[in-house]
């Protein structure tokens, strides 16, 4: 079995999830690659300290160039604020390492295009993070749509809702400010998760009408004062996708303020013959529609049947650490040329396309009109 030696740059919320996933890598059944976390870089001592408990980690540094200079690192996962994506991703590629990049793959469209072009010329393997489609229920929805068994498509609805920003006393962080999060705001935070499945099904928006909202304009700065929040909080993107010569509405929802929704990723695909709905709010539940003499919405408990088989019993429930592990399994399998038709991570082309959509959404909102996209 080959070993992929992974370094993490940015040991915050997401960087630590990598240590968690690799710590139970053996849950994968007959999987061809072993993943090992060998190096970590973070500017903050407290964040670095946490990784000292991970037995495979041999290098801990505050300087990402030191991590990239290590011949022991094959693959790098970068999970840092969006204003640093372009510089650090390019450094990774120039160092000759493969990259699992965090979304949104650069702070804006220009950055995304530069990263994708550099990736192409470097010949390195690069993908972007989006783990929710790896839930068994999400895969069932994807497969139902791919088979064409749903008939003529009526509409598609894909979204990601958060709610903790409803609290006006939640302190500000880098995700709430344009200079670090990007002008696209919530679209950069949550948007990649909403487009991964539609894009993979070939559903690329040809036009978009966007409704963007800034709800709280300032938040506590954690030092007794207030700090500005200038990013978009909620985004509704009403798009058209061309499917079999018809325009089909695809609504993308990205919300930081959605009452009661802690972390709800969902997809609904409705057709004349069938339909499918899955939400992480009900992780075991898959709703399917069948048009017969009676029109039936049926609810099934999905089994734990992941894209990459695991030893976990199929009566058990999947959770966030499972879909994150599955995403890594997809990344390393594809890197090894062993994806074998399974669902893969977001490609650089898809990441750039998402930025094209979000840039068009900014224009649409500013000009209060639908904006056309050059869709492949």
Ligand X SMILES: NC(=O)c1ccc[n+]([C@@H]2O[C@H](COP(=O)([O-])OP(=O)(O)OC[C@H]3O[C@@H](n4cnc5c(N)ncnc54)[C@H](O)[C@@H]3O)[C@@H](O)[C@H]2O)c1
Length of the chain counted residue by residue: 376
Q: Is the Cβ of residue 74 or residue 131 nearer to ligand X in the bound state?
A: 131
Q: Number of residues interacting with ligand X: please give it, by CB under 6 A.
A: 22
Helix/strand/coil (H/E/C) assignment for every residue in 215-226: CCCEEECCCCCE
Q: How far apart, in whole angstroms, are the C-alpha atoms of residue 282 and residue 137?
A: 10
The residue within the footprint of ligand X, chosen from 19, 35, 41, 276 (CB under 6 A), is 41
Q: What is the DSSP letter of 149?
A: T
Please tell me the distance from the alpha carbon of residue 354 to that of residue 370, in angstroms, as a whole number.
17
DSSP classification of residue 36? E
Q: Show the binding pattern over residues 101-140: x = contacts ligand X (CB under 6 A), - = does not.
A: -xx-------------------------x-x---------
Q: Is 200 in the site for ligand X (CB under 6 A)?
A: no
CB of 313 to ligand X, least distance (A): 26
Q: Smallest gap, in angstroms, from Cβ of residue 327 to ligand X? A: 8
Do the beta carbons of residue 67 and residue 59 sit within 8 Å? yes
Give the count of alpha carbons within 13 A of 109, CB side only: 11
Q: How far is the CB of 67 from ligand X (least distance, A)?
A: 9
Among 9, 27, 115, 325, binds ligand X (CB under 6 A): 9
Q: Which of 7, 8, 11, 348 binds ligand X (CB under 6 A)?
A: 11
Contacting residue, 1, 13, 311, 315, with ligand X by CB under 6 A: 13
CB of 61 to ligand X, least distance (A): 9
CA 196/CA 198 separation, integer angstroms: 6
Q: Is 322 in the site for ligand X (CB under 6 A)?
A: no
| Residue 259, SS3 per DSSP | coil
Q: Which is nearer to ligand X, 14 or 373 (CB)?
A: 14
- Using CB under 6 A as the binding rule, whether residue 42 contacts ligand X is answered as yes
Q: How big, in percent rounded to 5, are the helix, strand and coil portions of the chain?
A: 35, 30, 35
The alpha-carbon radius of gyration of the chain (Å, integer) is 21
Contact call for residues 137 and 317 (beta carbons, < 8 A): no
Please tell me whether residue 14 binds ligand X under the rule CB under 6 A: yes
Q: Which stretch binds ligand X (CB under 6 A): 35-43, 273-281, 352-360, 361-369?
A: 35-43
Q: Write out the residues near ligand X by the rule CB under 6 A.
A: 9-14, 41-44, 47, 64, 79-82, 84, 102-103, 129, 131, 189
């Amino acid at each position: 079995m080959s070993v992929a030696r992974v370094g993490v740059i940015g040991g915050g919320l997401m960087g630590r999830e990598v240590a968690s996933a690799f710590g139970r890598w053996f849950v994968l059944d007959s999987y061809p690659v072993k993943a090992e976390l060998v190096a970590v870089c973070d500017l903050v001592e407290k964040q670095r300290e946490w990784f000292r408990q991970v037995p495979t980690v041999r290098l801990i540094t505050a300087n990402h160039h030191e991590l990239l200079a290590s011949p022991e690192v094959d693959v790098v996962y970068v999970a840092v604020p969006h204003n640093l994506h372009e510089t650090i991703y390019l450094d990774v590629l120039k160092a000759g390492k493969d990259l699992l990049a965090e979304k949104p793959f650069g702070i804006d469209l220009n950055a995304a295009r530069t990263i994708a072009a550099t990736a192409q010329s470097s010949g390195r393997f690069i993908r972007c993070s989006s783990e929710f489609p790896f839930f068994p229920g999400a895969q069932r929805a994807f497969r139902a749509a791919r088979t064409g068994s749903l008939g003529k498509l009526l509409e598609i609805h894909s979204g990601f809702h958060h709610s903790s920003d409803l609290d006006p006393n939640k302190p500000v962080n880098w995700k709430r400010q344009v200079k670090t999060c990007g002008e696209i705001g919530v679209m950069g935070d949550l948007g990649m998760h909403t487009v991964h499945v539609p894009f993979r099904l070939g559903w690329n928006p040809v036009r978009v009408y966007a409704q963007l909202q800034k709800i709280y304009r300032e938040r506590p700065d954690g030092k007794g004062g207030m700090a500005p929040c200038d990013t978009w909080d909620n985004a509704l993107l009403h798009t058209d996708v061309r499917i079999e010569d018809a325009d089909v509405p695809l609504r993308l929802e990205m919300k930081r303020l959605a009452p009661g929704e802690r972390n709800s990723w969902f997809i609904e695909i409705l057709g004349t013959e069938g339909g499918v709905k899955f939400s992480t709010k009900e992780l075991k539940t898959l709703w399917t529609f069948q048009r017969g003499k009676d029109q039936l919405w049926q609810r099934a408990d999905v089994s734990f049947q992941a894209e990459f088989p695991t030893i976990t019993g199929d009566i058990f429930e999947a959770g966030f650490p499972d879909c994150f592990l599955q995403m890594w399994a997809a990344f390393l399998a594809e890197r090894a040329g062993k994806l074998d038709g399974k669902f893969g991570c977001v490609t650089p082309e898809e990441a750039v396309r998402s930025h094209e959509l979000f840039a068009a959404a900014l224009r649409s909102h500013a000009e209060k009109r639908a904006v056309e996209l050059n869709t492949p």
